[in-house]
Structure 1
Amino acid sequence: MFRPGHAGSLPFLGGGRFTRRFKPAKVYGRIGSLEVRLARKKSEIRRAQRLRYKVFYEEMAATPGALALLSRRDEDAYDQVFDHLLVIDHGDDGNGRRWRRPQVVGTYRVLRQDVADLYDGFYTQGEYDMTPLLRSKPDYGFLELGRSCVLKPYRNRRTLELLWQGVWSYLREHGMDVMIGCASFAGTDPKAHALALSFLHHHKLAPEDWRVRAHDHLHVDMNLMPKEAIDIRAALKALPPLIKGYLRVGAYVGDGAVIDHQFGTTDVFVIMPVEEINTRYFDHFGSPDEFNAPIAGEFGPLN
């Protein structure tokens, strides 16, 4: 999953003082009975939160707090400022009966820098020191991705490429230049991922002008094996599919991993400058300097 890590609190969002304004739904792509679009009302965000709870807490190793246990939703204060991309199934239940209401089967939440600057910054800043990077790139617009998940029966190429279509279309629509977030390895023992983490450290570390570092008190060294001892093919096989997909597009990683005990993961910072993205993907999803929300292509980097 692509999920930013720990964050600071947003006290000024509480008490009903923050009112989310929803625009009419904008559909970014369709494949069959599935479509990807932005959430248009609070009830749709709640459905995305229920999906996240099902995946992160019931299927994976996240540890719910008392509120999450009661609500059966994965939620935090940042949900109020992020936009929420939804993959929605308008089909049937597999037995020929149409859903009473369309089902939310995949989600991503996205946060633009101009919005983050109005509140408490990016969620990822709780794990990584992004201040030097943001200060050194004042002409770039950053887009944070997080809380990505897909319902198990829908984890296939079609759904994943549709999610990517939504992210890419949103990025182009708002003129963003860089995608950031944290991608996760399952489990909290970095040594269990020594090969993959060492490969990332030696072969995919961001150039210095794009590099961020985990906060000192959270920093876990990814250099667990010498470069000459790494079997590249085995390392690629050991990478989670999502991270492998981002690397295929042209992404880099930051300096150091971070253990997220709540979610039971080992996180790495992922950064994707649009100018570095492999241009062959533009043939499927459109170039970054124009926006017309095309239907999803046949191959996406999340594959």
Structure 2
Amino acid sequence: MAVDLEGTVLAFARGGASNAQTRGLATAVGVVDALVSQVRAEAGLPVAAVGAYLAGLDLPQEITTFRAAVADLAWAREAPVRLDNDMFALLRTGTDAPDAVAVVCGTGINCVGVRADGRDARFPALGPISGDWGGGSGIAQEALWYAARAEDGRGDPTAFTTLIPRYFGEHDLTAVVEGLHFGRIAHDDLTGLAPVVLAAARDGDPVARSIVDRLGDEIGLLARVALDRLDLHDARVPVVLGGGVLAAEDPGLLARVHDALTPTFPRAELRPTRERPIVGAAALTLADAGADPGAVARARARVAAVASTPVGDAPVR
């Protein structure tokens, strides 16, 4: 997306996945280069700053490697480039407070915190190898695990033995397991079970409730650790909650997050957001380019409107 210093959206484009961890560095750089080049050409103005906040830039080495890979591209030579993890974009989508925390729970789970003095708190967010659990993928796999054990007698009864086959259009759970094993069902498709888990918990299934409670505890724990690292115990701090699972604003899940967080940090304020992280990325990049606060505020509303439009619709200027 290209935005001028008055906060007007000049160009907008969508592309493929740009996570270097899953797609490879060359593919990720190619996606970013194509998108930046397209909106740069459509905007028709000199570039003052470029911001790329990307999934997969979790470790300092990954940021350094990506920076080196784009250094010789035309737009990277034209203006300063800020590269960082997409969590910072989510955080600034939900708040402009100088002290803040954000937790994402989409396919995976991650957290970041910032302080007014420039310090931040990050997590590697590399999955189970870095101690992570949760996100749509995590709770879906947990639901399937419980369902399989209930089906063969090793576990407690659960509605998942019916709900999961129904979701995949299969006649029973065995067909789902075999479909995953033989590749007829893609493992990535499991993530779509997240709404099923939340709904089952709301309907009173005890197994589903235990999964949602564990997820709420994990989200609250991430936020607590970030706040503690930044010594924000006595501050009124917004905690932005984003990603598909949290954007659903499930009452039971949010209540569990609140209960896990506020006894230790009573002034923390949960702020779920459904807006896309590109809103925060635009705000951060405009600030880097020297735009005034009024322009940044205008850009927030305009970028949010454009990002929510169907593919092919004209930008909102």
More strand by share: 1
- Pair in the same fold by TM > 0.5: no
More helix by share: 2
TM-score by length of 2: 0.23
TM-score by length of 1: 0.24
